[in-house]
Chains A and B, each alone.
Chain A
């Protein structure tokens, strides 16, 4: 080490770390290097020895902006001192600038200077790149320089593995175990967990996973490449249980952070390919799978939107093109698929004569539907070798060939061949079920319906489906409603709402047409109930089902919950409410049932003009209300709210509304009097006071007969109501309730007088 001027003075400096110290210490308290005298003045004048001038240079460079020009040192030496001073001060930009002025590779101490500021340099990509350029001239011979160059590279490289262990030896024994485990892909020592970076932890978890240990840390999963994830799934180290669920959805932009990212999305797909949606596939970058789905959905637009660079995307585009136009793109189709497509293309389009089926086509059931037209016409031959090698295909071809005897009415031949195919051991469930279906058809045509039904029962046992059940129902329909159990079965298996509806319509028609059927068959009831449980857009159809239930399944309808009675819209919801209430009313005349119906009907009447069925129901309900007036209050209860709801909705004609209100008011007043009470003020207001006032106002617009009837109704109601209020007031004399009751009495008297005046003017007694 070069030594500058000696001796401690009143202000000493450390030539090594640049610290200054005041006092008598001979060594730097920070780094223990001997302290130097500070005064550069003689050297700065250029008249000192080289040693003194160098000491002065060190002193001047220790602070910013020191002028070393007058010291008579070479440019390189000056740059070196300035660089060193910058390094000690932490001025990385100045450090790099000065070092770049030195001869390339000429100052080995440069490596040490850069290492001194490694943290700052490695934290800034621009600084790192400049430092790497300074280190390059040292080549691979200087370990520190090489290691730093590798460490400062933005991307990891193989060189990191090469220098890792040698550098660990240089860096100290504490680093060697970790370096060795990274270099040899071993598990980390049990205690080597302090200050380990995420990449080391990921590698460690991966090495453990490959050895069969579970990998459960989502942070680790997110860092693993697909090939490793795939292998860890294969070894069982990653299971569905450790993959974050929707709580960390890749598309979650609700502030939950970046989500699990591509790796977890990939894992979800890899563990349950059919369960993930397109968003997850996009997050995982699985363009080929997105393309496959677009192909299956016949979505050319989606296929166009996917990246051209992906070979899988190009394959599915070419496959869709073939599917649509028959054009074969040999460049983009995957080779194994191309062979199959070329073979299928030989047999799919129309051709003259017959052609043999190749093993390639026979081996791929996805080709067969495209061959159906030619197979039905028996244009596809099958050689003995292919028949033996691919028995399923052979049976499928035989099944297609059955259509000729059916077409030609050769039922016996069809029966014989269908029976043989159904009995074949190699037949798939779908082929066996279809052979039995053909057999049943032939038997039916041969007027053996019982046998035909047995064949279809067998087919349904092999592979239940709506189509088989519908066919069985058609055969059973020869015996009328005996088809209903099959139709009920068809409805259970139906995949579309239209099929369900068609099946139910058929069931209803059969039931209505069969005079032998007594009552409502349970199968039909179950079908109607099942159909009512599913929302339907068609209001008429919905009401038709409700009517069936109302007429024939009343007890169930009255008790059915809203879960059992789905509604496709608000109107259907009200219609359900009405019919359910009505079903209850048919069984028992209650105030709550009357109110439920009146309230729903008030809504149903709103669109003007109301539909005919609503008007008919209104008349029915009014009839029930008049019936309630003839029933004991103790049995029906207070149905005033039902009348109020109906009257308030303006759905009754004025005369009927007034008569019904007055009659109900009289009925409730009587009931109140018997219980030593007055009517509820709200009922009194809506059933008597307001209608009486309305009657007075509308008097001259009413017919004579209506005037008479309404007047009579009020003539009965008012005295009854007055009596009940008067008695109630008398019983409550001296209480706070007395005065309001007296006021109500006065209102009755005034209204009665007012109505009496109208009647007298009209000549009434």
Chain B
């Protein structure tokens, strides 16, 4: 069995930062001070756990000697805070407007073409 796991003792996830560990220590230590002898023992445990995390390697990924709870960081699932790639839900109005634009471009171009053709084939204007 694992003798002691500083993260479990402090109640923080494996890989928690020193800052998170310190906050957890403060939160848990507050209530223990009123619990007499047992409270003092638990406070000693918390102090040990905090110092383990503070003095441990900054990158916990490079430590294979402590049981990991959780085993892996939570997967980043899609949502407001992990937004998926931007979607383009084209509305019927937008599509119609785009088609109308293409149609106008084609009409404009063909109108010019007709005028060029007519200009080339009509006789010169009389006085």
Please indicate the chain A residues that have their CB under 8 angstroms from the CB of B100 in the complex: 158
CB A107 to nearest CB in B, in angstroms, measures: 11
Give chain B interface residues in 9-26, CB to chain A under 8 Å.
Answer: 9, 11-14, 20
The complex places the Cα of A170 from the Cα of B114 at a distance, in Å, of 10
Whether the Cβ atoms of A112 and B72 lie closer than 8 Å is no
Please indicate the chain A residues that have their CB under 8 angstroms from the CB of B104 in the complex: 156-158, 160-161
- Residue of A223, A434, A446, A490 near B64 (CB, 8 A) is A490
Choose, from A198-206, A550-558, A568-576, A628-636, the stretch at the interface: A198-206
Contact (A150, B123) CB under 8 Å given A225-B98, A227-B90, A438-B69 = no
The complex places the Cα of A498 from the Cα of B76 at a distance, in Å, of 22
Whether the Cβ atoms of B67 and A231 lie closer than 8 Å is no
Please indicate the chain A residues that have their CB under 8 angstroms from the CB of B105 in the complex: 156, 199, 202-203
Whether the Cβ atoms of B76 and A366 lie closer than 8 Å is yes
Please indicate the chain B residues that have their CB under 8 angstroms from the CB of A112 in the complex: 122, 125
Is B94 part of the contact surface with A, judged by Cβ < 8 Å?
Answer: yes
- Residue of A230, A369, A495 near B88 (CB, 8 A) is A230
The chain A residue with its CB closest to the CB of B113 is A197
Per-position 1/0 for A638-681, Cβ under 8 A of B: 00000000000000000000000000000000000000000000
Whether the Cβ atoms of A502 and B64 lie closer than 8 Å is yes
- Residue of B65, B77, B110, B112 near A178 (CB, 8 A) is B110
- Residue of B102, B110, B115, B117 near A179 (CB, 8 A) is B110
The complex places the Cα of A168 from the Cα of B1 at a distance, in Å, of 91
Whether the Cβ atoms of B112 and A151 lie closer than 8 Å is yes
The complex places the Cα of A288 from the Cα of B103 at a distance, in Å, of 29
- Residue of B97, B110, B123 near A16 (CB, 8 A) is B123
Q: How many residues of A contact B (CB 8 A)?
A: 128
Choose, from A80-88, A690-698, A753-761, the stretch at the interface: A80-88
- Residue of A150, A157, A178, A437 near B71 (CB, 8 A) is A437
Is A224 part of the contact surface with B, judged by Cβ < 8 Å?
Answer: yes
- Residue of B1, B64, B80 near A473 (CB, 8 A) is B64
The complex places the Cα of A224 from the Cα of B114 at a distance, in Å, of 24
Please indicate the chain B residues that have their CB under 8 angstroms from the CB of A373 in the complex: 20
Please indicate the chain A residues that have their CB under 8 angstroms from the CB of B124 in the complex: 16-18, 31, 87-88, 116
The complex places the Cα of A459 from the Cα of B123 at a distance, in Å, of 89
Contact (A474, B2) CB under 8 Å given A178-B110, A228-B98 = yes
Q: How many residues of B contact A (CB 8 A)?
A: 69
Contact (A444, B125) CB under 8 Å given A289-B85, A430-B75 = no
- Residue of A58, A171, A323 near B114 (CB, 8 A) is A171
The complex places the Cα of A369 from the Cα of B73 at a distance, in Å, of 10
The complex places the Cα of A317 from the Cα of B83 at a distance, in Å, of 13
Whether the Cβ atoms of B115 and A157 lie closer than 8 Å is no
CB A161 to nearest CB in B, in angstroms, measures: 5
Is A9 part of the contact surface with B, judged by Cβ < 8 Å?
Answer: no
Whether the Cβ atoms of A366 and B79 lie closer than 8 Å is yes
Whether the Cβ atoms of A368 and B74 lie closer than 8 Å is yes
Whether the Cβ atoms of A468 and B72 lie closer than 8 Å is yes
Whether the Cβ atoms of A406 and B8 lie closer than 8 Å is yes
Whether the Cβ atoms of B116 and A150 lie closer than 8 Å is no
The complex places the Cα of A171 from the Cα of B20 at a distance, in Å, of 80
Contact (A502, B63) CB under 8 Å given A115-B119, A148-B115, A292-B83 = yes
Whether the Cβ atoms of A465 and B72 lie closer than 8 Å is yes
CB A240 to nearest CB in B, in angstroms, measures: 16
Is A264 part of the contact surface with B, judged by Cβ < 8 Å?
Answer: no
Is A211 part of the contact surface with B, judged by Cβ < 8 Å?
Answer: no
7 closest A-B pairs by beta carbon, nearest first, are A366-B79, A467-B71, A273-B85, A156-B108, A365-B77, A498-B62, A160-B107
A-B contact pairs, 24 of them (CB 8 A): A33-B126, A87-B124, A115-B119, A116-B122, A147-B111, A164-B107, A164-B110, A175-B113, A185-B99, A195-B113, A199-B110, A200-B106, A224-B98, A226-B88, A227-B95, A344-B81, A368-B77, A376-B12, A403-B11, A430-B72, A430-B75, A437-B69, A495-B61, A498-B61
